[in-house]
Amino acid sequence: MHNTSMDCIFCKIIARKIPSDIVYEDDDVLAILDIAPINPGHTLVIPKRHVRDLLDVSPEAAAKVISVAQRIAPALLKVTGAPAFNCSINNGPASGQVVMHLHVHVIPRHPSDGLISWVHGKYEPGESAALAQRIVAAMAVMPKV
């Protein structure tokens, strides 16, 4: 078992203290069906080492989680008959993250399911260029990944 948090529900699932429906497991990653699925087949891909979110995980561990999501997605499409899927990571409570342990949602989608829609905004003239420059400047002073 890797680094865990005693009060984390995912760490308890990984330790088999809470039952789950496992669809994939290796030394570093566990994938389970979400107990409150957006659509049937909604799967959570979880690193076994406790990390809070995408900002807390090593690039190597993140790559393993994404690799497992890539492996699971076509199986979900085949089994559920869904023509598409969403793959998402919520980071922090304001984004909808409820369990503070990194997890990737792989959600089968159907054209008529009416779920997860985006409301697109619009930049004022010059606003996106200024914002892009500020992001580049902020990244220049951060440690490289």
Output helix, strand, coil percentages for the chain, rounded to the nearest 5: 30, 15, 50
Give 143's contacts (C-beta < 8 A, 6+ positions apart).
none
d(CA 65, CA 69): 6
Chain mean position to CA 22: 16
> Does 103 participate in catalysis according to the annotation?
yes
**Cβ neighbours around 68 below 10 Å, total:** 24
Q: Which of 42, 50, 103, 105 is catalytic?
A: 103
Of the CA atoms within 13 Å of residue 64, those in its CB half-sphere come to 17
10 vs 100: CA distance, rounded Å: 9
Q: Which residues are catalytic?
A: 103
